[in-house]
């Protein structure tokens, strides 16, 4: 007959597997030595960056830079099965077509579809599975943020060479970690998965509702930034949606006809809206001169799979 400890470990593994197949996680609750917490998939898609590490100054070079998969191996068609049947989600089939499958413990077709959709739409161009940080030797002070880290937190790796990776930073979700201490080091190895970029859209959500306007309906019609590569102001005219004035949603990145810019909250809620541009050429984009009438929209707006 198995011991209580063995039975408990088996039950925890089964519960963790059920959580994983529905897109969630089962994590240790460190506020109670005997408690485990189920984190739903919707709670794992935070757009808030909890920890930022510099690839040049903070990552331990001895830990390597493990890749999970490239865009050429990302499945474009995923079939998710559940006790009542199966459902297939089709993604970008302009890529090399690859089929994938996953068995889930979802309660219904919608739950299985959500898991398949997540696998199809997860960013694959730069998907890192592990990060190693030595808190003692990191150039930035990461002690407080590391000890406040939670499972499912969003981590940003900055200072990536854009000529190699095509972008200057990448966001990841933390699935867990190990800690190793010695007299002169404090090494944390984070297990990660690519963050939603763009994040999945959720209706009636202030955090996940980064919806885009109808194509071509939002344009920059004026402002001091037009015709220059400097920061300043832009005047946005829209025949569809307008930008929110909720301070909690700003600063935010916008896509100005291919260039990513960072803006602060607009002064008014109706079109035309005047926004202050605080950064040009954000991420892998390049600051360039734009003419009046060029389109603008939310950068990395949410996508939906059906």
pLDDT at residue 100, rounded to an integer: 81
- Reference 151, options 120, 193, 205, 109; nearest CA is 193
CA distance 185 to 89: 46
User: Given this model, what pLDDT does residue 2 score?
Assistant: 43
Geometric angle at alpha carbon 74, from 70 and 78, rounded to 5°:
165
Dihedral angle computed from the Cα positions of residues 75, 79, 81 and 87, in that order, rounded to the nearest 10 degrees: 140
Q: What is the pLDDT of residue 42?
A: 59
Does the predicted TM-score (pTM) go above 0.85?
Answer: no
d(CA 306, CA 214): 18
Q: Give first-to-last CA distance, the chain, whole Å.
A: 48
How many Cβ atoms sit within 10 Å of the Cβ of residue 146?
18
pLDDT tens for the chain, 306 residues long, are 444 444 446 677 777 777 766 667 676 665 556 677 776 665 666 778 899 999 889 988 787 766 554 555 667 788 888 888 998 888 766 656 778 888 877 778 877 887 777 677 654 556 677 889 999 999 999 999 999 998 778 899 988 776 666 667 888 888 788 999 999 999 999 988 777 665 555 555 555 556 677 777 899 999 999 999 999 999 999 988 888 888 877 888 899 988 999 999 998 889 999 999 999 988 778 888 999 999 998 887 765 544
- Please report the pLDDT score of residue 5 as a whole number: 43
């Amino acid at each position: 007959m198995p011991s209580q400890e063995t039975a408990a470990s088996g039950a925890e593994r089964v519960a963790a597997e059920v959580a994983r197949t529905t897109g969630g996680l089962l994590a240790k609750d460190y506020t109670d030595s005997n408690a485990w917490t189920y984190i739903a998939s919707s709670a794992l898609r935070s757009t808030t960056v909890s920890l930022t590490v510099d690839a040049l100054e903070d990552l331990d070079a001895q830990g390597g830079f493990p890749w999970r998969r490239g865009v050429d191996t990302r499945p474009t068609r995923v079939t998710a099965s559940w006790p009542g049947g199966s459902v297939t989600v089709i993604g970008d089939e302009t890529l090399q077509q690859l089929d994938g499958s996953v068995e889930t413990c979802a309660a219904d077709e919608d739950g299985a579809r959500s898991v398949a959709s997540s696998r199809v739409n997860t960013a694959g161009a730069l998907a890192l599975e592990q990060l190693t940080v030595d808190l003692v030797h990191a150039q930035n002070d990461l002690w407080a943020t590391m000890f406040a880290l939670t499972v499912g937190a969003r981590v940003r790796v900055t200072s990536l060479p854009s000529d190699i990776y095509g972008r200057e930073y990448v966001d990841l979700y933390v699935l867990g970690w190990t800690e190793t201490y010695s007299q002169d080091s404090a090494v944390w190895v984070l297990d990660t998965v690519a963050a939603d970029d763009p994040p999945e859209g959720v209706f009636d959500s202030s955090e996940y509702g980064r919806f885009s306007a109808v194509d071509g309906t939002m344009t920059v019609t004026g402002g001091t930034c037009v015709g220059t590569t400097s920061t300043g102001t832009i005047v946005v005219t829209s025949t569809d949606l307008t930008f929110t004035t909720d301070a909690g949603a700003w600063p935010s990145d916008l896509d100005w006809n291919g260039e990513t810019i960072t803006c602060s909250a607009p002064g008014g809620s109706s079109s035309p809206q005047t926004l202050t541009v605080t950064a040009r050429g954000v991420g892998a984009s390049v600051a360039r001169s734009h003419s009046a009438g060029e389109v603008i929209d939310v950068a990395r707006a949410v996508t939906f799979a059906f």
